[in-house]
Structure 1
Amino acid sequence: MSAGGIRAGNAPRAVGHYPHARRVGNLLFLSGIGPRDPGDDSIPGNEYFADHRVRKYDIQAQTRAVLANVRRVLEAGGARWQDLVDVTVFLTDMARDFPAYNAVWAEHFPDPATAPCRTTVGIAALPTPIAIELKCIAVVADDP
C-alpha cells in the first residue's frame, strides 16, 4: 500500500523534485533533510565570504536545526519523534564534526536503548552549503 508524497508546510522546501516523505504501509520514509531555516532558507551557523563561499559553520547549530526539521516532517507524516527507527547521517567533515554532532544527538536521544538505530557517513559534499543531512525511517501507528 503506497500513499502520495508528503509535503510539510513548516519545513524547508525540498532542494529537488521530491517529497519530504512518503508513507508505505506503516513505514514513513523521509527524503534527505537538511538544516535550512523553513522561513528564509538560511543555514544556521553559516558565515560567508563576500563571494558567498562558506567561511565557517557551526555543526551544533546545524545539527539542532536538522533535528527540528526532521521533527516537522515526521509530524506532517503522522509520526512522532519516538517513532524514528533508523537514521542515516551524512557529515561533510567526519573528523572535525562527529564529536560535536554526537553531543547534540545525545541531547535529543538521551537513552541509547530507545534511540533510533543510526549510521553516520562521511561524504565530500551536499547539494547546498550544509554540513549535515539526515535520511530517516519511522514506524507510524495504524490509523484508529
Structure 2
Amino acid sequence: MRVIHTADAPAHAGPVPQALASGGWIFVSALFGAYPDNRQLPNEAGAEAGQLLTNLAAILAAAGADLTDVVRVGIFMKHLQRDRPAFNEAWVRHFGEHRPARTAVEVSDFAAPARTPDS
C-alpha cells in the first residue's frame, strides 16, 4: 500500500491520507472544493465543484493516474437539487466524454470547510 499526497490539493485536517494506492486501485479520501494554498472555499457551488474536481485530478496525478481512470464517484451535497446543475456543468468540463458511474446523496451537514450557506 502506498500513501498518496500532493501539495496541489488540500490536506485533511485529521489523520487521513489524501489517497491510498493498493492492488492497482487508487482510493481517494473525502474531498472538498477548497483551494489548496489557503483551504478557503469559492463563494458559489459551481466554482466549488470545479475546484473539488481540480483537487481530485491533482491527487490522481500524484498517483500516476488521471480523471479518465476514474470508475466511480460518490457525491455528498447539502443542497442536492439546488446545486446539481452547477455541479453537472463542472463535471462535464472536467471529465469531458468520460463518464464514470456516480451516486449523489443529499446530507444535512459537513465537517468544515464544506460549503453550507442556505442562499
The two structures have a TM-score, normalised by structure 2, of 0.89
Structure with higher Rg: it is 1
In terms of fraction of residues, the more helix-rich structure is 2
Instruction: For residue 87 of structure 1, give the secondary structure of its aligned residue in structure 2.
Output: strand
Give the structure 1 partner of residue 16 of structure 2.
18
In 2, Cα distance between equivalents of 1:131 and 1:42: 10
Shift of 1:10: 1.7
Structure 2 residue ranges without an equivalent (≥5): none
Give the structure 1 partner of residue 53 of structure 2.
67
In 2, Cα distance between equivalents of 1:25 and 1:129: 31
1:4 and 2:2 equivalent?
A: yes
Q: Which has the higher contact order (CA 8 A, sep 6+)?
A: 1
Give the structure 1 partner of residue 108 of structure 2.
124
Instruction: For residue 88 of structure 1, give the secondary structure of its aligned residue in structure 2.
Output: strand
Please say if residues 93 and 131 of structure 1, whose CA atoms lie closer than 8 Å, have aligned partners that are also in contact: no
Please say if residues 73 and 100 of structure 2, whose CA atoms lie closer than 8 Å, have aligned partners that are also in contact: yes
Provide the identity percentage: 30
Map Cα deviations across residues 91-122 of structure 1 (whole Å, 9 max, x no partner). 111121112211221222343xx311111111
In terms of fraction of residues, the more strand-rich structure is 1
1:42 and 2:37 equivalent?
A: no
Alignment: residue pair count:
116
Instruction: For residue 41 of structure 2, give the secondary structure of its aligned residue in structure 1.
Output: coil
Instruction: For residue 88 of structure 2, give the secondary structure of its aligned residue in structure 1.
Output: helix
- One-letter code of the match for 1:35? G
In 2, Cα distance between equivalents of 1:11 and 1:104: 17
- One-letter code of the match for 2:61? E
| RMSD, aligned α-carbons | 1.5
